[in-house]
């Protein structure tokens, strides 16, 4: 019925650390994912929490536009992924006039929420294409 997408770009979290957080919530119910992220000790859990909450709000707005009733318990995380963003290059002075390069990495995080009907239809279409 409803599928919503939320993205955050150029966030100052390394993709490797963001993927650790994202892997914890992949395939879970949206409300359960919020509970997991709220108490996760990783620094990347806060922006991912806000992103999942934003995707839930997007789903509510989309359902209202289509005159559909949407219960938050019906939303599942159908896909979530982290892409690498631009890398900021900085230099730190070292001994004897040398310079040490510091790479400050950024991430692009995408969350896609869907209702169970959408998840099932996507799974059956993948099986039919094989």
If DSSP states are collapsed to H, E and C, what string results for 51-77?
HHHHHHHHHHHHHHHCCCCCCHHHCEE
Specify the CATH architecture of the domain 3-129. Answer: Alpha-Beta Complex (3.90)
Q: What is the mean pLDDT of residues 62-75?
A: 89
Tokens of 88: 């900021």
Mean pLDDT computed over every residue of the chain: 91
Q: What is the mean pLDDT of residues 2-25?
A: 95
- Do 25 and 52 touch, CB atoms closer than 8 A? yes
pLDDT over threshold 70, residue 120: no
d(CA 14, CA 17): 5
pLDDT over threshold 80, residue 113: yes
Is the whole model's pTM more than 0.95, yes or no?
Answer: no
d(CA 21, CA 50): 13
Pairing of β 76-84 and β 88-93: unpaired
pLDDT for 118 equals 60
């Amino acid at each position: 019925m409803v599928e919503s997408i939320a993205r955050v770009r150029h966030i100052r979290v390394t993709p490797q650390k963001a993927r650790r957080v994202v892997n914890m919530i992949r395939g879970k119910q949206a409300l359960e994912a919020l509970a997991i992220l709220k108490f996760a000790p990783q620094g990347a859990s806060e922006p991912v929490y806000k992103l999942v909450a934003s995707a839930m709000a997007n789903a509510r707005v989309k359902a209202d536009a289509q005159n559909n009733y949407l219960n938050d318990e019906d939303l599942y995380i159908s896909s979530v992924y982290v892409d690498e963003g631009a890398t900021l290059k900085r230099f730190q002075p070292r001994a004897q006039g040398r310079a040490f390069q510091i790479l400050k990495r950024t991430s692009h995080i995408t969350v896609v929420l869907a209702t169970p009907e959408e998840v099932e239809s996507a799974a059956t279409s993948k099986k039919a294409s094989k």
